[in-house]
Amino acid sequence: MWVGLDDTDSREGGCTTYVGFLLSHVAGEFLVQFPRLVRLNPNISYKTRGNGAISIQFSRKGSSPFRIGKFDGKWIMSNARNDGEDSFIDELRAPAENIIEKHYAKDQENTNPALVFCMERPPESLYRNALQREIDLEESMEYARYHSSFFRTWGIGRGIIGSLASIAWRPGRRTYELISYSYPHGDRVSDRDKQIIGEICESREETFNSMDSQKHIALFPRERTPVIYGIRSTSYDVLLEIQSRIAEIYPQYDMNFIIYETNQGTDDHIIHDPDSMEESGSYSVQGTVVGMPSRGIGGHLSIPFSTTCVNTNLMAFEPSKEFRNVLENLRPGDILRAYGSMGKGNIKLEKIDLMGVSEIYRRIPPICGVCGGKTMNLGRNVYECMECSHRSNPTYSREERNIHMGKYEPPVNARRHLSMPWKLEGYF
């Protein structure tokens, strides 16, 4: 049996993963594999923060238990195998509803939770659609009415979309995130302690989006939520090893945590080489720079770009920081593959693969070969000496380019949850 939940947080507080953590603890003996944190379309207008939904599989017939977290210092166990599907909605319904009732962000217009129980998983297309477009609420409500075993919504119930989509996810690419909690708000962690924890995480090759070359640390949330830190990795065993090292120094951070299986860092939202591109969709397209980069209001960078299916602009916004400084060195004729989402007719960049760097030549007015005087441009590449009227052609000098072929991405603090860091390209 599958349980999905979503949309319990707001921009001011709350945390859907914490609700999933509590439900995993309450029904721990019935857990199968890892609870799942599934990120959906990052471009939708009504998302709260990370646009992540939770789904958890339960069974009375699980076997081969293993450790996935702790609650008040005691291990949370899950079952590696599910030896039979069964329904026990009556046992889980009240605890799940009570947890959501207590912990969702009330009186917030954009917080509209949902809880859904399914014996049969929705088709994967429901997950794929939720990555690419804004799903009609009634469309998901209709599915829940006819195909779920039970569902409940709060407010207008928009969380039903993510709840169903998270259950519909069939992991191909997958990663893991260990999230440590302190209710109701994550502990204030000093800069020094953040640095120590960041370096512990960065010491393992399997982790990603922990720290970048500029020592920016991306483990600690800015919002006032129950989350202390979140560590992302391609290996859950490595996450347990890292947590053990952290616990030796900071035992207070080893009391409440859980490991989620996720689609973070997988590029699951990307459609490669589409015939057409739609608003709110995310794509990978190859094309050519056709104009000079320019800065706009607020520091955003715009780069004219042409592909076989669209003429558009590549956009890099202020939060991407030094990524913009690299992109500012692009020039007409450069060939690259862009990854990003369509918004207002532009591609909002997540990363690029620069595949070809054009040669740029600068025209130099010649010195007169007869008298050594200065020349002026008459047009049509003809220069005339200002002293003796001798005419000649200009010379050209190849400019040094301040950018080279390669793969570029924003610093860790400016990356989307779903966007695959170049570091993981070989892993997948």
Max Cα separation, the chain?
A: 101
Same domain? For 320 and 247 the reply is no
For residue 224, what is the DSSP state? S
DSSP 349-410: EEEEEEEE----EEEEPPPPTTT---EEEEETTEEEETTT--EE--EEEEPPPS--SEEE--
Same domain? For 286 and 418 the reply is yes
- CATH of residue 343: 2.40.50.1010
pLDDT of residue 329: 96
- Alpha-carbon dihedral of residues 215, 216, 219, 224, nearest 10 degrees? 140
Same domain? For 102 and 202 the reply is no
Same domain? For 42 and 160 the reply is yes
pLDDT of residue 108: 78
pLDDT of residue 399: 87
Q: Averaged over 94-103, what is the pLDDT? A: 94
| Bond from prior residue into 366 cis (ω within 30 degrees of 0) | no
Rounded-to-integer distance, Cα 154 and Cα 142, Å:
16
Q: What pTM did the predictor assign?
A: 0.91
**CA 138, 139, 144: angle at the middle one, nearest 5?**
90
Q: Averaged over 348-374, what is the pLDDT? A: 93
* pLDDT confidence bin for 48, thresholds 50/70/90: low
Same domain? For 282 and 341 the reply is yes
Same domain? For 35 and 162 the reply is yes
Write the pLDDT tens digit of every residue in 390-415: 999 988 888 889 999 999 999 998 99
Q: Which residue has the tokens 């509209």?
A: 112
Same domain? For 18 and 145 the reply is yes
pLDDT of residue 353: 98
Rounded-to-integer distance, Cα 293 and Cα 279, Å:
23
Rounded-to-integer distance, Cα 104 and Cα 108, Å:
9
For residue 158, what is the DSSP state? T
pLDDT of residue 265: 97
Q: What percent of the chain has pLDDT over 90?
A: 71
pLDDT of residue 153: 95
Rounded-to-integer distance, Cα 299 and Cα 328, Å:
12
Neighbours of 350 (CB within 10 A): 26
Rounded-to-integer distance, Cα 339 and Cα 422, Å:
12
pLDDT of residue 63: 87
Write the pLDDT tens digit of every residue in 221-230: 876 789 999 9
Contact assessment for residue 351 and residue 410, using Cβ atoms and an 8 Å cutoff: yes
**74: which 2 tokens?**
């005691």
Count of alpha carbons within 13 angstroms of residue 106, beta-carbon side: 4
Strands 150-153 and 294-295: unpaired
DSSP 71-133: ETTEEEEEEEEE------HHHHHHHHHHHHHHHS-TT-TT---EEEEESSPPPHHHHHHHHHS
Same domain? For 198 and 75 the reply is no
Q: Among 133, 153, 168, identify where a domain stops.
A: 168
Same domain? For 206 and 133 the reply is no
- CATH of residue 197: 3.30.70
Same domain? For 105 and 163 the reply is yes
Contact assessment for residue 336 and residue 354, using Cβ atoms and an 8 Å cutoff: yes
400 contact partners, CB below 8 Å, separation of at least 6: none
Question: Which run of H or of E encompasses 167?
Answer: helix 159-168
Q: Which residue has the tokens 């794509």?
A: 283
Q: Among 141, 168, 195, identify where a domain stops.
A: 168
Write the pLDDT tens digit of every residue in 177-222: 999 999 877 778 999 999 999 999 999 999 999 987 777 899 998 7
pLDDT of residue 49: 61
**CA 240, 244, 246: angle at the middle one, nearest 5?**
115
Same domain? For 279 and 348 the reply is yes
Length of the chain counted residue by residue:
428
Q: Averaged over 335-354, what is the pLDDT? A: 96
Q: Among 227, 262, 297, identify where a domain stops.
A: 262
**Owning domain of residue 181:** 175-262
Contact assessment for residue 335 and residue 312, using Cβ atoms and an 8 Å cutoff: no
Letter for the amino acid at 7? D
Q: Averaged over 144-164, what is the pLDDT? A: 94
Rounded-to-integer distance, Cα 9 and Cα 128, Å:
23
pLDDT of residue 197: 96
Rounded-to-integer distance, Cα 409 and Cα 350, Å:
7
Same domain? For 156 and 258 the reply is no
Q: Which residue has the tokens 């995310």?
A: 282
State how many domains the chain has.
Answer: 4
